[in-house]
């Protein structure tokens, strides 16, 4: 929840004003609710009225909902959406790496895209990652670096408290910029693709709802605090990546820490995406698709794809907004509410049906409008 993408939240506040603070809170509440109903879709009642876990993954839920149309259709849709989100996340790490390096060494005559290529070279060993053991160790280091970054940025902002002014917040907002901000905020909360696995591995799955409540509550508090203090410090000068606003004596240090965090974060979504694709391809009986060489080819292809995409779309906030609008809204709002309605329609109360339908409509509208505005913004920037 507190990943590198919280760095885009102050920029989202710049374009959404007071409504951005409300959106951060609303997104936390809605994502918490959809996380619960997604997990509810894993269970069915037995003859004695006891809940039994009959499904294990997001894909299983989707297949159960679409089995009358096609036994595999739902799973294909979910897997494609998951892979898109994970690959877009990897692309964002490359984009932000290039951005951080270019701002850390402005005196070096190298473009931001070239810096992204240099960062990409350090990620080439990812093609040899076969298990989550290595990824988990990298993620531990990533978490430690993240705490250092947030501490440094927040400490500096608190030293500038005498410059804070609520007048920096906008009362009127540009609708298109606001919709891009919605995508950024939604993307900072996306976690639904990991929840079925997480719940299944809990020692006491009955405590899942409490865990979800507290994690979303603290995530909301921390995101709001970070976004608010940083925006009040820089106001209209807030940049896409908030660390670019830091004074030079801190910027290089924090940017290098962020670069380390981005590179350490890359393997997790990359590994997850390639495992989904490899599993889907190798389900057949053809032994060629299960060979180590083929797995290496899949990982290598995905690694190259993330670099090419990062070269074409080197804009952190706009790319983040587009990803949040496309996959974030689908995985966090659209699909959980749709699946919950489909699998539990007869057991849901009137209010629960209204809530699910409302979230589905809201997610659809946000997704559609966010996609249009993010693409328009990218086209304008790319000229």
User: For residues 355 and 203, which has the higher predicted lDDT (pLDDT)?
Assistant: 355
Among residues 228, 232, 243, which one has the least CA distance to residue 316?
243
3-state secondary structure of 47: coil
Is the pLDDT at 289 greater than 60? The verdict is: no
Among residues 306, 226, 317, 330, which one has the least CA distance to residue 11?
317
pLDDT digits (tens, 9 = 90+) for 247-283: 887 888 888 888 888 888 888 888 888 888 877 776 6
3-state secondary structure of 51: strand
With vertex at residue 260, the alpha carbon angle to CA 259 and CA 265, rounded to the nearest 5 degrees, is 95
Given a contact cutoff of 8 angstroms between Cβ atoms, the answer to whether 259 and 104 are in contact is yes
Q: What is the pTM of this model?
A: 0.79
Looking up tokens 């060489």, which residue turns up?
293
3-state secondary structure of 43: strand
Out of 149-158, 181-190, 225-234, least confident range: 181-190
User: pLDDT category, 323, cuts 50, 70, 90?
Assistant: low
Given a contact cutoff of 8 angstroms between Cβ atoms, the answer to whether 36 and 212 are in contact is yes
Q: How many residues are recorded in the chain?
A: 383
How many other β-carbons are positioned within 10 Å of the β-carbon of residue 28?
A: 23
Is the pLDDT at 321 greater than 70? The verdict is: no
Looking up tokens 């790490």, which residue turns up?
93
User: pLDDT category, 171, cuts 50, 70, 90?
Assistant: low
Domains (range + CATH), the chain: 5-382 (1.20.1740.10)
Distance CA 281, CA 18 (A): 47
Average pLDDT over residues 45-62: 85
Q: What is the pLDDT of residue 340?
A: 94
Determine what percent of the chain is predicted with pLDDT higher than 70. Answer: 88
User: Could you write out the DSSP letters of every residue in 265-290?
Assistant: HTHHHHHHHHHHHHHHHTTSS-GGGG
Is the pLDDT at 85 greater than 80? The verdict is: no
Q: What is the pLDDT of residue 377?
A: 67
Q: What is the pLDDT of residue 39?
A: 94
User: pLDDT category, 174, cuts 50, 70, 90?
Assistant: confident
Is the pLDDT at 288 greater than 60? The verdict is: no
Structure tokens at 57: 């993954």
Q: What is the pLDDT of residue 29?
A: 93
- For 103, residues 6+ apart whose C-beta sits below 8 A from its C-beta are 243, 244, 251, 255
Average pLDDT over residues 95-111: 82
Distance CA 27, CA 20 (A): 10
- For 206, residues 6+ apart whose C-beta sits below 8 A from its C-beta are none
Structure tokens at 100: 């951080």
User: pLDDT category, 109, cuts 50, 70, 90?
Assistant: confident
């Amino acid at each position: 929840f507190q990943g590198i993408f919280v760095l885009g939240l102050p920029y989202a506040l710049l374009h959404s004003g007071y409504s951005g603070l409300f959106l951060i809170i609303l997104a936390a509440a809605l994502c918490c609710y959809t996380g619960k109903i997604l997990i509810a879709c894993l269970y069915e009642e037995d003859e004695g009225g006891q809940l039994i876990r009959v499904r294990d993954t997001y894909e299983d839920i989707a297949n159960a909902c679409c089995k009358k149309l096609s036994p595999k259709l739902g799973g294909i849709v979910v897997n494609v959406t998951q892979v898109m989100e994970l690959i877009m996340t990897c692309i964002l790490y490359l984009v932000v790496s290039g951005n951080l390096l270019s701002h850390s060494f402005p005196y070096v005559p190298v473009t931001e895209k070239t810096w992204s290529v240099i960062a990409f070279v350090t990620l080439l060993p990812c093609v040899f990652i076969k298990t989550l053991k290595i990824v988990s160790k990298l993620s531990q280091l990533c978490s430690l670096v993240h705490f250092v970054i947030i501490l440094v940025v927040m400490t500096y902002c608190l030293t500038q408290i005498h410059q804070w002014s609520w007048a920096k917040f906008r009362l009127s907002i540009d609708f298109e910029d606001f919709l891009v901000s919605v995508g950024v905020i939604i993307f900072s909360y996306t976690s639904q693709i990991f929840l079925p696995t997480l719940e299944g591995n809990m020692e006491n799955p009955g405590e899942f709802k409490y865990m979800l409540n507290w994690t979303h509550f603290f995530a909301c508090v921390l995101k709001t605090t970070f976004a608010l203090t940083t925006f009040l410090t820089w106001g209209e000068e807030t940049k896409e990546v908030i660390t670019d606003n830091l004074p030079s004596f801190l910027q290089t240090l924090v940017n290098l820490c962020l670069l380390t965090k981005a590179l350490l974060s890359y393997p997790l979504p990359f590994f997850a995406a390639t495992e989904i694709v490899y599993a889907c391809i190798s389900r057949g009986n053809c032994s060629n698709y299960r060979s180590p060489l083929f797995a290496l080819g899949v990982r290598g292809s995905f690694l190259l794809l993330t670099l090419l995409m990062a070269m074409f779309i080197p804009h952190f906030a706009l790319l983040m907004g587009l990803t949040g609008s496309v996959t974030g809204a689908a995985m966090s709002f659209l699909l959980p509410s749709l699946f919950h309605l489909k699998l539990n329609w007869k057991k849901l109360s009137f209010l629960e049906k209204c809530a699910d339908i409302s979230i589905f409509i809201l997610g659809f509208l946000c997704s559609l409008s966010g996609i249009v505005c993010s693409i328009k913004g990218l086209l304008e920037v790319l000229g």
